[in-house]
A and B are shown apart, each in its own frame.
Chain A
């Protein structure tokens, strides 16, 4: 029995798309999966700042806010984004609120980082048990969440903040970049 050549075509027609799907699927970065928190109220948190003051996410109510997860061992990404954060604070606080959350870091490490790369005006939470990182689904520092004035998470940025990312997200929060 002769095999019609059309029937042989079925093999590549099935295998090529399947191989392509697997190849591209395996190459994707899982950290870039959109956060399920977007469009939802920000997870509430409270803790102690580097200065030993109590802080609660309720303090952020009523104004757009950014929640920045960072660590002193996160080099170079956190070092790279530090001037961007300082510039953001200089231009937009207090119409924008900022809070840092340490990811698996020590108070000494964090203080050393700030002393070296620039002291900041916004509170930084110790997050010693890592529960805030889990509540925000953080995979690793740096990660930044943008929250609108109603307390709804509007965006998450994975990796160091850049002026372009900040400008885009400020516009989404209704602030002039």
Chain B
């Protein structure tokens, strides 16, 4: 069972990576302008409320932003240009999700790094236990004790 842990972990990671790739490569369905506007409103933070998107909020500021989104899309701007317009005025803060790709890769890097560290720890544990069983008595036991004490110091 222990022998299988590393292959299982690698297989799970590969499956996860595969799902991410499928999600990234799948062509997005064509959206109507109203759906696009609704989508952008859902990504923007309502400026005068707490933890609500512009799409969810009933405040006048949110309504004004929703109107602007519709107007700007109507005048031919792309959703990316509309988002950039609001970021240029309110800062990154207006986006509910971070736009920097670094923020999205940190958890992936943490999972891969953690799996790697776990595998290293697992293999190291097995490697050091095995020879200890084979060595009975003699000066080797003394040597091991000294080395362990040096490690602990």
Chain A residues engaging chain B, CB cutoff 8 angstroms = 1-2, 4-5, 30, 33-37, 43, 104, 129-131, 133-140
Contact = CB atoms under 8 A, between A and B. Distances in A.
Nearest to B88: A36
Interface stretch (B7-15, B33-41, B60-68, B73-81): B60-68
A137 B89 CA distance: 5
Interface residues of B, number: 23
B93 interface: yes
A144 B90 CA distance: 14
Contacts of A135: 89
A36 B91 contact: yes
Contacts, number: 54
Interface of B: 47-48, 60-61, 63-65, 67-68, 86-91, 93-94, 125, 128-129, 148, 151-152
Given A130-B60, A134-B64, A33 B93 contact: yes
A8 to B, nearest CB: 12
B120 to A, nearest CB: 13
The 3 A-B pairs with the shortest beta carbon distances in the complex, nearest first, are A130-B64, A137-B89, A104-B60
